[in-house]
Amino acid sequence: MPRQRCTRGHPYGGVRPEAGAGEAAPAAGSRGTPVAGRCRSAARGMRPRRLLPTPAGTPFTFWYTAVLCATALIAERADPALVHALLQGSSTDVAHLVRTPELVLVGSALWVAGGVASPFTAGFVLVLTALERRVGGLRTAGVFLLGHVVATLATEVPVGLAVLAGGLPGSSLHRLDYGISFGAAAVCGALAGLLPLWLRLPLLTAVGGMLLEDLLAFTDPMTGWGHLIALLVGIATWPAVRRWHAARRLPAGARRGAPQA
């Protein structure tokens, strides 16, 4: 994941997953105990087809993936000069953030460095699908954008301040920076909070280890810090995503506030 984000012209160089005693047994013909219901729900969640996005089940992930496929096709087949112009116009460098922050913050998240066939992109789609199935599309989009925006600003604002102070050349304001890896790191961090401990720890260890390895390589320290910041942003959303997940598991009447029998 850390090597997926594309950054060029960085000021520091580099290119930037039995009823118990006393309990009444279920009546004949009943649909089973609550425990059995939870087991069936967990089994449905583990079905392979639920790992992939669908238009009805995970609309945000499905259509966002379709957009990434379209932009990847453009990047591969279109004239190189046109592609460079599009990427430059979507770059979240300091100059663009000062002039058109909304445009580039959204536009930079529409391109995948390395193409949609890369292992990173496949993992990103699986993680995004898993989070959307648990908290919904709008909230998943919010987590992604939160990590993307916060990490971008946290890495670009220091560059702008360093240029003003004379510590970096003016060319640092116009470096090429785009990709989805900040948002992907935030989504990974958020999803970990909804997983059981035996899955949460390996996920955070694997993702955090890759990010630290990339940072210690010092090929692109600003982006490396951005990935860690985005992961922490995702972890900071645990109270919210757990409330959202719990709310989605309630019966429809309970979500509307209707009294339960």
Q: What is the pLDDT of residues 158-215, one digit of tens each?
A: 999 999 999 889 888 988 899 999 999 999 999 999 999 999 999 999 999 999 998 8
Q: Which of 24-28, 141-145, 151-155, 205-209 has the lowest mean pLDDT?
A: 24-28
Closest CA to 115 of 77, 60, 63, 59: 77
Count Cβ atoms within 10 A of the Cβ of residue 212 and give its class: 0-12 exposed, 13-18 middle, 19 or more buried.
middle
The pLDDT value recorded for residue 22 is 43
Decide which of 29 and 68 is more confident.
68
Question: Beta partners for 176?
Answer: 8
How many other CB atoms are found less than 10 A from the CB of residue 41?
11
Going 197 to 202 to 60 to 154, the CA torsion angle's sign is positive
Helix extents (H) in 46-196: 59-77, 80-90, 94-99, 101-107, 119-135, 137-164, 181-192
Reported for 243-248, long-range contacts at CB under 8 A and 24+ positions apart, including other chains, are 244/134, 244/135, 244/136, 244/139, 245/134, 245/135, 245/194, 248/134, 248/135, 248/136
Q: What is the pTM of this model?
A: 0.81
- Asked if 108 and 143 touch (Cβ cutoff 8 Å), the reply is no
How far apart CA 44 and CA 240 sit, in angstroms, is 24
pLDDT bin (cut points 50, 70, 90) of residue 31 is very low
